[in-house]
Amino acid sequence: MPFPRVLLPAATAALLLSAASARARTDTLRVATYNVENLYDAVVDQPTNNLTGAPGDADWCRESWRRWTDERYRTKLGRLAWVIDRMKPDILVVEEVENLGTVQALADRVRADYGWTLPHIAHRESTDPRGIDVAILSRYPVRSVEYKPHRWRRGLLVAEIEVDGTRVVVLANHWKSQIGDAEENIAIRTSEAAETRSEILRRLRADPNATILSLGDYNEDMDGPSMMEGLKPANDRGTALSSIRGPLSGLRPYNLVGDIPKSARGSFFYARRKVWNTFDGIHVAPRMLLPLARPGPAWRVGRPSETVTFHPPEMRWGDDGRPKSYRRSRQYAAGTDGDEVSEENYYSDGYSDHFPVLTVLHRAGAPDAAGDDGAGKDGKAEESKAGPAGPEAP
């Protein structure tokens, strides 16, 4: 079945087009998460991987099976910069970055090629055996950074960002993949999810009206076992809003992917099983769903149509519309055992194996661009008819 044409919601498109306009005080924030898929430089300098005995980035050099070079690294930077410029985020969480140098190189490339600036970066080296980290890029000053390591994993990165006199707390996540033993992986992700929930509740205990967002690649669908047991989110607005009336222990962070029409939620395509997954998400403190005129957090969620899985046609591949990666093409020479690959077409002309997820927040007390709280009757999110047509989610 042909992949349908994507149209961004009018409200989101207008914000993207007007992103460069200068204002004394911003009343909107564009926040996104993007797994950039193995953003390594071409220098082998990571610590030894305890599992393989080789440097964590040993695959990312000219001599490796990936044939990774500085030229290919810079090509990938350029392609990712193209995506970021079209989203024009004020705050961007990225996953699968090798180190601070690659994050800075990405920010520099966006500025050099398109003029969009993300001058403030939060990053810490993780203990991941592959040497990949998470990072936060921001147009606004990062006032504090906390890193909570997780044994052999990426850990949780937490930053406080100052936006025109307000504080926005951003939690950057990249949970354990589904490679390996399923039971073990679920246990690890559940532990990571519980740590994220604990951090959210700790900060809300200190300030019930804190603006808190948890973003990242959770490597599990929005209703997966680790997600529901560890983070305990709500996938509809009504449930999230109802939870603020009870004790803090029962609070349900809201997954904004629930605002996206089901046909457009998929951010990762598992090719072997031909299944779309909702691995990437943005969770918010539920009081951020309150109308702009109500007391509460400094920043609020907008209409359901203002959250999208960002996938313009250039980022999609084939009839199923899967994310178009920049990676080895796996076109092997005939009659070989898979070691010989055509150098002429070694890398696909793409970006990443994930689509970003993008949302728009509104300042409380600003002109009510979202109308009401963006919810239908009983607080249940309405499926926007203006939402982008997209890949079928599970």
- Residues 71-112 have pLDDT tens digits of 999 999 999 999 999 999 999 999 999 999 999 999 999 999
The residue assigned the tokens 């907008």 is: 302
| Secondary structure class of 29 (helix, strand, coil) | strand
Question: pLDDT tens digits for the chain (394 residues)?
Answer: 333 334 445 444 444 444 444 456 899 999 999 999 999 998 988 888 766 778 888 888 888 878 899 999 999 999 999 999 999 999 999 999 999 999 999 999 999 999 999 999 999 999 888 889 999 999 999 999 999 998 767 899 999 999 999 999 999 999 999 999 999 999 999 999 999 999 999 999 999 999 999 999 999 999 999 999 999 999 999 999 999 999 999 999 999 999 999 999 999 998 777 899 999 999 999 999 999 999 999 999 999 999 999 999 999 998 889 999 998 765 555 555 555 555 555 678 899 999 999 999 999 998 654 444 444 333 433 333 223 333 333 3
Is residue 142 a contact partner of residue 122, using CB atoms and an 8 Å limit?
Answer: yes
pTM here is 0.85
Is residue 188 a contact partner of residue 176, using CB atoms and an 8 Å limit?
Answer: yes
262 burial level (CB within 10 Å; 0-12, 13-18, 19+) = middle
pLDDT at 286: 98
What values do phi and psi take at 13, rounded to 5? Answer: -60, -40
Structure tokens at 94: 């990225």
- Burial letters for 127-145: b for 16+ Cβ neighbours within 10 Å, e otherwise? bbbbbbbbbbbbbbebeeb
| Secondary structure class of 86 (helix, strand, coil) | helix
Sequence letter at residue 81: A
The residue ranges of DSSP E strands in the chain, in sequence order, are 28-39, 91-97, 120-123, 133-138, 142-148, 156-163, 166-174, 211-217, 254-255, 268-270, 275-277, 280-284, 299-301, 307-309, 316-317, 322-323, 357-363
115 burial level (CB within 10 Å; 0-12, 13-18, 19+) = exposed
Is residue 288 a contact partner of residue 261, using CB atoms and an 8 Å limit?
Answer: no
Structure tokens at 191: 């532990």
| Secondary structure class of 286 (helix, strand, coil) | helix
**What whole-number distance in Å separates Cα of residue 12 and Cα of residue 306?**
6
Cα dihedral sign, 66-70-74-75: negative
DSSP secondary structure letter of residue 96: E
Sequence-separated (6 or more) residues with CB below 8 Å from residue 298: 166, 167, 168, 209, 211, 363, 364
DSSP secondary structure letter of residue 379: G
**What whole-number distance in Å separates Cα of residue 191 and Cα of residue 285?**
20
Sequence letter at residue 229: E
Q: Kindly list the distances between the CA atom of residue 32 and the CA atoms of 45, 87, 94, in Å, as whole numbers in the listed order.
A: 30, 8, 9
The full set of domains in the chain, from first to last, is 10-17+30-379 (3.60.10.10)
Is residue 387 a contact partner of residue 9, using CB atoms and an 8 Å limit?
Answer: yes
Sequence-separated (6 or more) residues with CB below 8 Å from residue 100: 121, 123, 125, 135
Sequence-separated (6 or more) residues with CB below 8 Å from residue 77: 39, 105, 106, 109
